[in-house]
């Protein structure tokens, strides 16, 4: 891996973190699998539970997710258990859910998709 892959994207290239409205959120949520809405007001979030065979796999997932969080400068709340991890995405800067939450959700899901040979 090159060091540039570990560098936070140029902030000017990062999307504006604007809170999305309810209908935008519902549409974006319908394009993802297994993500649900939780909380309300400024605490509203999208969340998903990821299940693994054991602790080692769970932590490997957490480490891969940390790379996405660092690159995107967007940091989900994690609840880490022996064989599952609950990921909760909210944009505190915007006091709601923003495009960054959905971008990260998509990249996190992609970690677990089978890769083409």
Ligand X SMILES: C[C@H](O)[C@H](O)[C@H]1CNC2=NC(N)=NC(=O)C2=N1
73 binds ligand X (CB under 6 A): yes
74 binds ligand X (CB under 6 A): yes
Taking residues 75 to 114 in sequence order and writing x for each that binds ligand X by CB under 6 A, - otherwise, the string is x--------------xxxx---------------------
At closest approach, how far in Å is the CB of 93 from ligand X? 3
At closest approach, how far in Å is the CB of 15 from ligand X? 12
3 state SS for the chain? CCHHHHCCCCHHHCCCCCCCCHHHHHHHHHCCCCCEEECCHHHCEEEEEEECCCHHHHHHHHHHHHHHHHHHCCCCEEEECCCEEEEEECECCCCECCHHHHHHHHHHHHHCCCCCC
Can you give the binding site for ligand X, defined by CB under 6 A? Answer: 17, 73-75, 90-93
């Amino acid at each position: 891996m090159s060091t540039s892959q570990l560098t936070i994207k140029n902030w000017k290239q990062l999307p504006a973190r604007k809170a999305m409205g309810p209908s935008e959120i519902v549409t974006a949520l319908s394009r993802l699998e297994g993500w649900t809405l939780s909380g309300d007001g400024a605490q509203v979030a999208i969340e998903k539970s990821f299940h693994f065979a054991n602790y080692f796999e769970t932590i490997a997932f957490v480490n891969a997710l940390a790379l996405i969080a660092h690159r995107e400068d967007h940091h989900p709340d994690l609840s880490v258990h022996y064989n599952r991890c609950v990921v909760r995405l909210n944009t505190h800067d915007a006091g709601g859910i923003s495009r960054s939450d959905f971008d990260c959700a998509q990249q996190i899901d992609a970690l677990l998709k089978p890769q083409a040979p």
